Structure 1
């Protein structure tokens, strides 16, 4: 591989969207179908953090003191970000309340004592000049919420962690997909 500064990406500007779990994964620059993906609005300036964590267990043998192989015992993939807008869609996502309502000027989202899993698909899109990247998790759930601080001098932030779940049905389906469209890179590399 050669050094190529044109392949260095900067997050530039982006957005976070949610849809029903299992929603079709769009192409890197395909228009998103109307009414399918809900934009969650402003996020804080830290953007989105992806974390991939694999647990591998050593397989020992009678013949060797070192493991003869490693076997996957767990794979975890999470995205962490903080929403800045407070509305029906962001509160519904943060609280896991699919029944959040908007009645005139009043938005109501409830944090229930008997929660039900609120699975969603998540799409992170960002641009760097004319390069567009999309990162899609077809099925996941909000697993952690950061402390929400309400102060006189800072925006309220809904910080959360979204964890990818195994695909339903086909076990070979991806947990996550990263698509990048770079108009200047049309040649295949090997």
Structure 2
């Protein structure tokens, strides 16, 4: 009888909790440790609550086949593009999530040179795209994981629905940018050594 394959149910993981953090890309000190799952990396700030759909992490590699006369199938594939995207819906209306979503900064309106308590966010017809560094933490029990993206920009924004019985949500797709040949990296304290 053939031997049973090497399986281990303890290696099935869930993301029962997690956080998303951001910092300006320029000058960010990238974390090199997985963290404790509760504390923001130095220089990063939390973006608050995320919808119960969680965070979607999508690495993409697009290729073109190289066909030759001597074969009916490709002999290799050539990489044409690569992407690393984070999709997340934030449920907190705070300064960080709204500035990311609208692509502009809040400024307090002054009245006769005095703060008025009213804040204004101007939407430009030619907006400047903000470059950020992003960290996503998640874990289950003692197992913690972290994705670090050194440089990223908002690629897509969803619509805000204003409804009597539903909270406002800020749906964003954040794409990694090249950072000296890297899109980012993943850290974990789960044992990934060969078994």
TM > 0.5: yes
Residue matched to 1:153: 165
1:13 and 1:33 map into 2 onto residues whose CA distance is: 17
Larger strand share, 1 or 2: 2
Instruction: Quote how far apart the aligned CAs of 1:166 are.
Output: 1.2
The structure whose Rg is larger is 2
Which 5+ residue runs of structure 1 have no aligned equivalent? none
The change in CA–CA distance for 1:24 and 1:7 in structure 2 (over 3 A counts) is farther
Q: Secondary structure at the match of 2:64?
A: strand
Does the alignment pair 1:25 with 2:30?
Answer: yes
Residue matched to 2:154: 142
CA contact (8 A) 2:85 2:175 kept: yes
Deviations 1:1-42 (A, max 9, x none): 7312222211111111101216233110276554x1011101
1:166 and 1:44 map into 2 onto residues whose CA distance is: 28
Query: Normalization by structure 1: what TM-score?
Result: 0.85
CA contact (8 A) 1:29 1:181 kept: no
Q: Which 4+ stretches in 1 moved above 6 angstroms?
A: none
Does the alignment pair 1:181 with 2:186?
Answer: no
2:7 and 2:118 map into 1 onto residues whose CA distance is: 54
CA contact (8 A) 2:21 2:40 kept: no
Match runs of 1:71-86 below 5 Å:
71-86=78-93
Instruction: Quote how far apart the aligned CAs of 1:101 are.
Output: 3.2
Residue matched to 1:7: 11
Match runs of 1:4-153 below 5 Å:
4-21=8-25, 23-26=28-31, 27-29=33-35, 32=40, 34=42, 36-97=43-104, 99-101=105-107, 105-153=117-165
Across the aligned residues of Structure 1 and Structure 2, the Cα RMSD in angstroms comes to 2.2
Query: Normalization by structure 2: what TM-score?
Result: 0.83
CA contact (8 A) 2:83 2:183 kept: no
